[in-house]
Structure 1
Amino acid sequence: KINATGGLSRNYFINLAKSLGYNITIDEPEPFRAGINRAGDRLWVPEIIWVWIVNIDDAQVPVYRFRAGSSVAGERLMTFGQNLIENIFQDLKPAHTQVVFNYKEKTTP
């Protein structure tokens, strides 16, 4: 992160993730537009143009569940661990975007 020169492109973030040991793809959904899209295409709200969906391959996120006796009042019933990649992307992403992380588990044939 210290040596990063910065960038706003998807390729910059894909290469940054690769340097951290993650294999990712980034989707930029488009809103549904009459005359361009067809029946059966996904409907998105117009604001979806500000969202990046980061697909992380072969990733596992630790899940922490509330436990009677060890958890305390006020804790969430379930939380997910914060990955290094999430924190870095939130710090370096373009200010006008929202990043959604999609963790894809490794599938065995």
Structure 2
Amino acid sequence: MGLFSRREAPPGPTQPFEFVVEHVFAVPMRGLVFTGHVTSGQVQRGQDAVLHLPGGAHAVRVKRIDVRKRSASVVGTGAEAGLYLDSVSSNDLPSTPRGDSNLIDNDAIAGTRITSA
């Protein structure tokens, strides 16, 4: 490869994926990050997905993937990762009242799934 050669785009997902959520965190200036692990398939940045919450399913898109504090474009089965999703806000998530505000209820979210659309 030459110094100015182009990288080929990563191949698209080859099979449906499933991601099991362990925790959700609100990251300032970035949004919500759903941490957990991929139980099957591959998750790719830009991929359409479905977030299965206790209150119903939400159509989302994977806008960023972090693995060990580094950005990744694809993660596969067995990988632990953090997924940032478009089209979901803290208002869509189960919460518990605390003082003047509400906190995300991680106990209610733990074990939920994000799957390919």
Is the TM value for this pair above 0.5? no
Q: TM-score, normalised by structure 2?
A: 0.30
Higher strand share: 2
Q: TM-score, normalised by structure 1?
A: 0.31
Higher helix share: 1
